[in-house]
Amino acid sequence: AAAVGPLQSSGLWPSRVISVPGGSVRSIVSDAGAVFALGGPLEGGPASTNPTGILTRFDLAELQVRSPELSIPGADDLAIVGRSVWVVAITFPPSTDNEAQGTARIERFSASTMKRTGETILPGALSNDLAFASLTAVPGGPCWVSAGSRLYRIDPRGGRVLHVTSLAFLAESLSESASGTGLYVSGEGLPTSDYQPSLVVDQLDASSGTVRVSSSGVAVGGGSVSAALHGVWVSARSGMAGSSYQLRQGNLSLKKAPASLAPSHGPLAGATGVGGDGGYESIGGVEGFVSNHVLWLAAAAYLACADPNTEAVRGYELTSGSGTVVSVGRRLFLGGAHGVTVIRPPSACFR
């Protein structure tokens, strides 16, 4: 394998920050003409009294908000489905009872006008320890939603629930393969025999919801998944550190990369496991997002771009905080604590 060339160093990635109503950004997606950000304090459960998420749309041409912001109680995640924006939310009735049951729903909006076009109530009650929801879709493929330990296959044309799958863990993140045939789910499993927290990753058939293979490991929380061409990138935390690594499609085995691909300098030089166990590690955590055929690594101290298949790092920029990432054309949109940062990474990121 070829060794990495000189990395693009700090200070070469021009950026600007766009303030988003609701403060920090939980999720961000894009279609051909606009970027949609979901902001607000989005912790779930009765104790938080259904905090409101704020959905904002701004066009790609001028990076200006062109539609009114929408307040959505309990909003947790969003996705582009056809010409619509779907938001999944969980709400609980006003109660101090820890046994209060919540309801998950999908709200649908026109991607061009932001007008509300429909709602789907997902069957099954949620207890307060199951208040996580996620949503994923690819063009022309099925749409899947998770809420607690259930997966819902949704008709993208009208929002009808087509199939419900029960999982053996609490789902926290979904990602569908670009082909629309594979679905990856991560979540928090039962403690191990020595009482260590566990992370579970399932690979399912996206048409039927059948679990094909499952993998588990020690981690704090349910982590996140982002599908790549030949597998899935998994990001998880363990104490004060975090890691992002690739599992192979088909058997979910850990994919290791040649040691020659590890950068020899910069913030990733001492924070990567490339050539050892594979993937990347970082104090404070790191999360991998595959977008626009590039692996973007968002850590507390840096933002980096890499080849999602070989793991070769192509460039990095020093930052002061991580967030959720989507790439459109040659621009990168980073949603974090201060809104949406629009970044122009170097051309090396896209080679």
Predicted confidence at residue 198, as pLDDT, reads: 82
Measured in degrees and rounded to the nearest 5, phi and psi for residue 322 equal -100, 180
Q: What is the Cα–Cα distance from 168 to 80, expressed in whole angstroms?
A: 28
Q: What is the Cα–Cα distance from 315 to 345, expressed in whole angstroms?
A: 8
pLDDT score of 58 more than 70: yes
With residues binned 3-state (H G I as helix, E B as strand, rest as coil), the percentages for the chain, rounded to 5, are 5, 50, 45
The predicted model gives 264-291 an average pLDDT of 68
pLDDT score of 48 more than 60: no
| Chain position carrying tokens 């997966």 | 151
Rg (alpha carbons) of the chain, rounded to whole number:
19
Note the pLDDT tens digit of each residue in 187-243: 988 766 666 778 999 999 988 899 999 998 878 888 999 999 999 999 988 878 888
Q: Which amino acid is at 9?
A: S
Average pLDDT, the chain: 83
Which pLDDT band, with edges at 50, 70 and 90, does 270 fall under?
very low
Nearest in space to 30 (alpha carbons), one of 332, 289, 322, 303: 332
By mean pLDDT, which of 71-75, 114-118, 259-263 is the weakest?
259-263
Contacts 24+ apart (CB under 8 A), 174-177: 174/134, 174/135, 174/136, 174/144, 174/145, 174/146, 174/225, 175/136, 175/225, 175/226, 175/227, 175/232, 176/136, 176/137, 176/138, 176/141, 176/142, 176/144, 176/206, 176/227, 177/138, 177/206, 177/227, 177/249
User: Which whole-number Å values give the CA distances from 259 to 1, 119, 256, 264, 302, in the listed order?
Assistant: 9, 50, 9, 10, 21
Q: When comparing pLDDT for 303 and 67, which is higher? A: 303
Q: What is the Cα–Cα distance from 277 to 85, expressed in whole angstroms?
A: 38
CB 298 within 8 A of CB 323: yes
Burial of 188 (0-12, 13-18, 19+ CB in 10 A): buried
Torsion angle, alpha carbons of 198, 204, 209, 211, to 10: -60
Note the pLDDT tens digit of each residue in 62-84: 888 777 889 999 899 999 999 99
Give just the sign of the alpha carbon dihedral 307, 313, 316, 319.
positive
